[in-house]
Amino acid sequence: MATATPPENNGLIWLIVGLGNPGSTYLGTRHNVGLEVVDLLADRHDIGLGKAPKRAAANVGRGHIDRTPVVLVAPTTFMNESGAAVQPIARYFSVEAERIVVVHDDIDTPFGKIKVQHSRGTGGHNGVASVAARMGGSEFWRIKIGVGRPPGRQDPADFVLRRFSGEERADMDYVVRIAADVIERLVSDGAEAARQLAGSTRL
């Protein structure tokens, strides 16, 4: 099994992937919080997102986080096909799984909580499952953002395609900022520092 500690920063590239669905229909939905985090990182670090090389289905941008080289990836596939975007980009930039970070929504994590995981199962998340299938395993990093549980008997697939309430949206804007901080900490200072920050998040 792959180590759960990121390799030392020796100038190798990290791939940071935000999962979500493309198009204005899905903006602001629970399923798209991963894309929101990548967009925020792009703004913070002045990284422009443009068409991916080799016709991969994503917008990508190269830059640095605290002198660590990164490639930000916003797939333009639908969630269930995320792996079709991630795998060719990882191959193009020669990024191994231990330097890939996938940030995504999670209904089994309490609302507003952030978890840092490595080399775990897909947790029933179709986007993560797609990435794992195309990469040949799940030995990548995951930043899981709790987006709440569907009420009553509502289908989870419908729930994650809904937008947040006004109060939830204000809280989630804060959580997205912290998730971006956690990713910065992971690639710069390692897993322990990232997990400490994630665990200290309070709404």
Token pair 């670090």 is found at: 45
Q: What does the alpha-carbon distance between residue 64 and residue 187 come to, in Å, rounded to a whole number? A: 10
Report, in this order, helix, strand and coil percent for the chain, each rounded to 5.
40, 20, 35
Helices 191-199 and 166-189 cross at an angle (nearest 10°) of: 160
- 138 touches 101 (CB < 8 A): no
| Under 8 Å between Cβ of 63 and 72 | yes
* Residue of 31, 104, 118, 125 marked active site: 31
The candidate with the shortest Cα–Cα distance to 139, out of 124, 147, 128, 150, is 128
| Integer Cα distance of 143 and 105 in angstroms | 9
- Is 31 among the catalytic positions? yes
**Overall size of the chain counted in residues:** 203
The bridge status of strand 141-146 relative to strand 114-118 is: antiparallel
Structure token digits, residue 138: 């799940």
Q: Catalytic positions, please?
A: 31
